[in-house]
Chains A and B, each alone.
Chain A
Amino acid sequence: MVWEELSAARVVPSLEASTMEEVMEGLGTVMIDRGYAKDTYVDALVERERAFPTGLDINGVGVAIPHTDVSHVIKEGMAIGKLNKPVRFTLMGTDDETTDVSLVFMLSVKDPQGHLVQLQRILEIIQDNEVLKRLMSCDNAAAIIDVIKEKEQSL
Chain B
Amino acid sequence: MSKKVIVACGGAVATSTIAANKVQELGKANGIPIEICQCRISEIPSNLDEAVLIVTTGKCKRDFGVPLVTGMPFISGVGVEKTERAILDVLNAS
Does B58 interact with chain A (Cβ within 8 Å)? yes
Q: In chain A, residues 68-107, which have Cβ atoms closer than 8 Å to a Cβ of chain B?
A: 68-70, 92-95, 107
Residue of A nearest to B74 (CB): A123
Q: A52-B9, A52-B59, A116-B17 are in contact. Are A59 and B78 (CB under 8 A)?
A: yes
A51 / chain B contacts, CB cutoff of 8 Å: 10
Q: Secondary structure of the B side of the interface?
A: mixed
Centre residue among A68, A93, A116 by max chain B CB count within 10 A: A93
* B77 and A65 contacting across the interface, CB-CB below 8 Å: no
Does A67 interact with chain B (Cβ within 8 Å)? yes
A95 / chain B contacts, CB cutoff of 8 Å: 59
Does A24 interact with chain B (Cβ within 8 Å)? no
Q: A52-B59, A93-B57, A116-B21 are in contact. Are A58 and B77 (CB under 8 A)?
A: yes
Does B66 interact with chain A (Cβ within 8 Å)? no
What's the Cα separation between A67 and B14 when bound, in Å? 8
Contact partner of B11 (CB less than 8 A), chosen from A68, A113, A120, is A68
Does B30 interact with chain A (Cβ within 8 Å)? no
Does A127 interact with chain B (Cβ within 8 Å)? yes
Q: A92-B57, A93-B59, A93-B70 are in contact. Are A119 and B75 (CB under 8 A)?
A: no
B6 to chain A, nearest CB (A): 16
A56 / chain B contacts, CB cutoff of 8 Å: 75-76
A110 to chain B, nearest CB (A): 9
* B17 and A112 contacting across the interface, CB-CB below 8 Å: yes
What's the Cα separation between A116 and B15 when bound, in Å? 10
What's the Cα separation between A115 and B9 when bound, in Å? 17
What's the Cα separation between A95 and B60 when bound, in Å? 10
A50 to chain B, nearest CB (A): 10
Q: A92-B72, A93-B72 are in contact. Are A52 and B10 (CB under 8 A)?
A: yes
1/0 per residue B1-13: CB within 8 Å of A? Answer: 0000000011101
Does A42 interact with chain B (Cβ within 8 Å)? no
What's the Cα separation between A109 and B18 when bound, in Å? 13
A selection of 15 A-B contacts at a CB cut-off of 8 Å is A48-B10, A51-B10, A56-B75, A57-B78, A59-B78, A67-B13, A92-B72, A93-B56, A95-B59, A112-B13, A112-B17, A113-B17, A119-B18, A123-B18, A123-B75
